[in-house]
Amino acid sequence: MFMIFGIPGPLLFGQLLLGLINGAFYAMLSLGLAVIFGMLNIINFAHGALFMMGAFVSWMLLTYVGIGYFPSLILAPLIVGIFGLLLEKTIISRLYKLDHLYGLLLTFGLALVIEGLFRNAYGSSGMPYRIPSVLQGATNLGFMYMPNYRGWVVLVAVVVCLATWAIIEKTSLGATLRAATENAPLVQAFGVDVPRLITLTYAGGVALAAFAGVLAAPIYSVNPNMGTNFINTVFAVVVIGGMGSIMGSIVTGFALGVIEGLTKVFYPQASATVVFLVMVIVLLTRPRGLFGKAA
């Protein structure tokens, strides 16, 4: 067995991989938060609850309907996305003229309702979700054994993040979106249906969270608290990255996951708090966040 900095290599790489996986979820969640914040000026506190909902919908599809993992990757985000669309149309759209804090309070209440309902129905112990047979097993990479599913999650997350980035930065739809973020009335004057764009943005961000939830289902047990455990850390990630840049959110998410993984190797006691410590350092040196724009 070879050693790196006095740490067995497999242990180090194993934790790095775990860090990358957490980072993948941080990236997908903070990306959705950033996109929604850009358009709606709302911090979607219900993001964690909708992530959990994504995992639960895929579990329900498998348990009640017999629909497997791969169709769920499309279906669950679609279902949760439609739910998000209805939420935006009926409730959230009433808040745009108010102080931004009301959006935060409303979505916080929404998160409580969603989590409470799932806890009533399924308890908080959690349900297992089997890894699909194609992705079971592990591959020998030479320096470590990598469980196939974990490699798959990192790969898919990177692809989805880059695709989102490409849609927003490189397509004409994305250009309209960015323009509407900068100056909505002007874009509307050009004949773009901005309210519809806002609705679709919210649904898209929510679907992204649900997609992350489906990916997470086989790794963590499907339980009503799984979103909350993530979302508090994701808020710190968002503060560190600043919400100005899409690529910034992705990079920050992955990087913090890796830092967390490494901390687990070298100083496990601090692994739960290291993201928050990074946030403190960033606040002291660059209060606007690493990729934040001037206020």
One DSSP character per residue, 83-119 reads HHHHHHHHTGGGGTTS-HHHHHHHHHHHHHHHHHHHH
Token duo for residue 175? 């250009």
Helices 246-266 and 148-170 pack at an angle, to 10 degrees, of: 150
Nearer to another protein by Cβ, of 186 and 272: the residue is 272
**What are the backbone angles phi and psi of residue 91, rounded to the nearest 5°?**
-115, -60
Inter-residue contact 36 to 58 (CB < 8 Å): no
Q: Does 154 bind another protein (CB under 8 A)?
A: no
Token duo for residue 37? 């914040």
Q: Count other C-beta atoms under 10 Å from residue 120's C-beta.
A: 9
Q: Does 110 bind another protein (CB under 8 A)?
A: yes
Of 60-68, 110-118, 168-176, 194-202: span binding another protein (CB under 8 A): 110-118
Binding-site member from 29, 111, 161, 258 for another protein (CB under 8 A):
111
Q: Does 86 bind another protein (CB under 8 A)?
A: no
Binding-site member from 4, 113, 155, 166 for another protein (CB under 8 A):
113
Minimum distance, C-beta of residue 22 to another protein, in the bound complex (Å): 15
Of 56-64, 172-180, 188-196, 273-281: span binding another protein (CB under 8 A): 273-281
Compute the half-sphere exposure of residue 160: CA atoms within 13 Å on the CB side of its CA. Answer: 26
Q: Does 267 bind another protein (CB under 8 A)?
A: no
123 Ramachandran zone, left/alpha/beta (phi>0; psi -120 to 50): left
Q: Does 21 bind another protein (CB under 8 A)?
A: no
Binding-site member from 36, 207, 212, 236 for another protein (CB under 8 A):
236
Residues that bind another protein (CB under 8 A): 37, 43, 91, 94-95, 98, 100-102, 104-106, 108-117, 119-120, 232-233, 235-236, 238-239, 269, 272-273, 276-277, 279-280, 283-284, 287
